[in-house]
Amino acid sequence: MKTMPSLLTGLVLTAVFSAPAGADEVQVAVAANFTAPMKTIAADFEKATGHKAQLAFGATGKFYAQIKNGAPFEILLAADDETPAKLEREGVAVPGTRFTYAIGQLALWSAKPGFVDDKADVLKQGTFNHLSIANPRLAPYGAAAVETLTQLGLLGALESKFVQGENIAQTYQFVSSGNAELGFVALSQIYADGKLKGGSAWIVPGNLHNPIRQDAAVLVKGKDNPAAAALMEFLKGEKARAVIKSYGYSL
């Protein structure tokens, strides 16, 4: 217990002296699929501006409910373009701040090497028990997966093999644990530094589904926070865009 007072003093001193002049904090709600790139971007942002971005990761629909009920988020990085637009219509997002920060890329992935071929013939052969997709009612990547299967004419044949994750992170977990042989995940989850991290994948061509536009918006709580404005600018900058692309998003 002896160390407690000195530890506390240390914390207080750190808080007082380490923050550069004019440094602010911004609370950001981040779509689950954007977790990995956003951690990198937030670290770069802190280095470049001295502002700090506090990140919360989760499903966009849950963030919507929380924001509508007074959650202290100042920026929303959504997994879709509908939720930010809806929040703007309802007066919770600041008009004129919305923009597309990333366009999601869907991938059919298996944790087993060689299981998914580059023409997705595995889907036609149906040699698997479970196909993991994000709940299409909740997650844009799930809706895109259903559109893709509809385009391929395989929806009816494969629907009975669906297992649904509540968000794209859980969808990935079902596949990575081997419980589902394959699944439609976000390329950002299985891709880093421009290549596949493991297993086998088919990158779904963009013409098989509607584009997964992921929009950001400043929320009313962050209207006058300079750090919120700075982060929105930073997301549009070259450095952040390079990170976003390296995780397999298009822009």
Partner 1 sequence: MLTATDWSAIRLTFELAGVTTLLLLVLGTPIAWWLARTRSAWKGAVGAVVALPIVLPPTVIGFYLLVAMGPNGSVGKLTESLGLGVLPFTFAGLVVASVFYSLPFVVQPIQNAFEAIGERPLEAAATLRASPMDTFFSVVLPLARPGYLTATVLGFAHTVGEFGVVLMIGGNIPDKTRVVSVQIYDHVEAMDYAQAHWLAAGMVVFSFAVLLLLYTLNPTGRRRA
Interaction of residue 164 with partner 1, rule CB under 8 A:
yes
- Between residues 75 and 169, which has the closer beta carbon with respect to partner 1? 169
Q: How far is CA 16 from the centre of its chain?
A: 33
- Between residues 167 and 189, which has the closer beta carbon with respect to partner 1? 167
- Between residues 137 and 223, which has the closer beta carbon with respect to partner 1? 137
What Rg, from alpha-carbon coordinates, does the chain have?
20
Angle between helices 82-89 and 60-68 (to 10 degrees): 10
Place of tokens 């450095």: 239
Q: 103: burial class by Cβ within 10 Å (0-12, 13-18, 19+)?
A: middle
- Between residues 66 and 246, which has the closer beta carbon with respect to partner 1? 66
Residue of the chain from 34, 45, 64, 141 that contacts partner 1 (CB under 8 A): 64
Among 29, 77, 19, 27, CA closest to 53? 27
Taking CB under 8 A as the binding criterion, the range among 34-42, 120-128, 166-174, 210-218 that sits at the site for partner 1 is 166-174
Interaction of residue 77 with partner 1, rule CB under 8 A:
no
Residue of the chain from 19, 166, 196, 199 that contacts partner 1 (CB under 8 A): 166
Which ranges of 59-139 does DSSP label H, i.e. alpha helix? 60-68, 82-89, 121-125
Interaction of residue 126 with partner 1, rule CB under 8 A:
no
Neighbours of 156 (CB within 10 A): 9
Binding residues vs partner 1 (CB under 8 A): 59, 61-62, 64-65, 129-130, 132, 135, 137-138, 162-166, 170, 173-174, 177-180
